[in-house]
Structure 1
Amino acid sequence: MIYLDDFSKQELEYEMNALGEKPFRGRQLYKWMYSKGVFDFHEMTDLSRQLRQKLEEQYGFRNIGVIEKKQSKKDGSTKLLLELEDKNRIETVILKDGERLTGCVSTQVGCRMGCSFCSTAKIGLIRNLKIGEIVRQIIIMNKILSEKDEKLSNIVFMGMGEPLDNLENLNEAIRIILDESGLNFSHRKVTVSTCGMTDELNKMYEELDSPVNLAVSLNFTDNEMRQKYMPVSKKYPVKSLIATLKNLPVQKRKRITIEYVMLKDINDTQKDAKYLAEMLRGMPVKINLIVYNDSDIGFDSAAEKNVLAFQKVLQDKGFSAFIRKSLGSDIEGACGQLYARYNKKTYK
């Protein structure tokens, strides 16, 4: 089976041309899928019955089903367990913060970065998600929200996986998300979060016409310490990462978000805050301090007094530093908690 939702717009045009059809048929298919959220040839009414039959004989769309849905009693956020065509599973989250509805999107089944405080890392990398599997998470979330006459306002690539480790499919998914004939989001409403793959980071900025927002999961200023908990630092040291961030062609009105997960007795001292301020001096950044969600993988959240003291050090140094709300924590939908269990009976 050839899955049309694995293709970019240009590839759809080529495929229709190879089928003996005009390239604009590919654009029609693209619009049905990504603008209208239709993945059934019978509903594509501006295609002839003959063409629809021909397409049905040779092509299809990946089957993606919602297996479980959990809603937070604390803040109304919703976590979805999705089953893919090959029976692999991923989690995605609708984060609700007042009127703001953010879709937290996964890019991989599992992850190979190995961050020791992240639940997804326990799975390891099973495979990259295809273009349509990335984009259709957003379509599924919007379909659920439409039942309440709501829709996503923002997209963050902060779900399962390291987005830049699936760069080709990520970039094409972003093009669809930003395209007026696709999902039609503003680049100001889309954020990619990375643990710091600098080569791929540079490549993303080179290849995307409309740079989206960037968030970097830094968490440590000392490379030896960062390497202990985030193995990515072996290949991409902290100094190299900071140097790359300083040289990125970030648009004037945009700032890079530095994410700092605060772990009890590990990286939560005022001394750590001073090192962080020195490292980021002169850079166009804002800092999100993330209170870690206590888990069963050996880490605890920093004490509130330490978080507040850490924030004050940064603010006194002139930085915009915020304590990020832990949305969806009671449904394991918050930062670092996504873990798609493969046995449905254990998904509780």
Structure 2
Amino acid sequence: MDTYDILIVGAGPIGIACGLAAQKAGLSYVIAEKGCLTNSLYNYPLYMTFFSTSERLEVGGIPFVSISAKPMRPEALEYYRRVTISNHLNVRLFEPVEDIKRTGDDYTITTDKTTYKARHVIIATGFYDIPNMLNIPGEHLAKVNHYYKDPHFYAAQKVVVIGANNSSVDAALETYRKGADVTMVIREEGIGKRVKYWVKPDIENRIKEGSIKAYFHSHVKAVRENEVDILTPEGMVTIQNDFVLALTGYQPNFNFLEKVGITLSRDAKKYPTYNPDTMETNMPDVYLAGVVCGGMDTHVWFIENSRDHADKIITHIAGKMRE
């Protein structure tokens, strides 16, 4: 079995950046991805517009040209796909990593298809795969979705949207404009402060005029086939309902990190242990890159401020291999 210098877990933008940096440094590598290329971006809403400009989403110094300053999901998919294919990155798609074990000075990485050996491992798995659950009666019903894709599906339906950040606001506005009867349930006093600045006035005005109903300081307590119970400051309210979009955020795969041996903080944030100068974890020769570094603080790291993780990691690995 050949031993790679690096195995990269995850073929999102940061995993791709790590592959480009490894290739440039002349290191052998393979990228294992459990889904399609940039799997998380693929599962974003169809018409999502990025908060960042295209140049801040670039990886490997390769220009990202978009029609508008802030690209949309299809443009990002096109960019990262072309970067991957044109640079002949060694990517294995639809091949989830199941285990990573230390064997002597190297690591043995087991996927659902084969086994690899590598001297170093980079985990760039993002955070979008595991939704934060509500843990309420009825959450298991088919009408409850933790991901939102296309507003047309909800036309002429009574939709409850849980949350007040970007994904929830986009879903509320888009489904409303496709003819849905939309009710937002928000645990805070208002729309989230991190909502895109060009969208925030739109949702606030729709709520103010009554086009979209909103319950603030409120929680969904139970879901049934045709109803939803909402606990509001004035008491329990039951409304008719066809679908629930529980867009309450997502989290990294902490079980996977712990299985590898990476130490997490004992508090609710579950920060993984790593050296911010090199991105190496408490496990020797295992590195973290991208959003996964933030634990439950998934709003701290983005493509634009974590793409330099790739250069930090590859510089450190290359330096060790020269010693």
Task: Please classify the TM superposition score into its range, dividing by the shorter chain length.
Answer: under 0.3
TM-score (norm 1): 0.23
The higher relative CO (CA closer than 8 Å, separation ≥ 6) is in 2
Higher helix share: 1
Higher strand share: 2
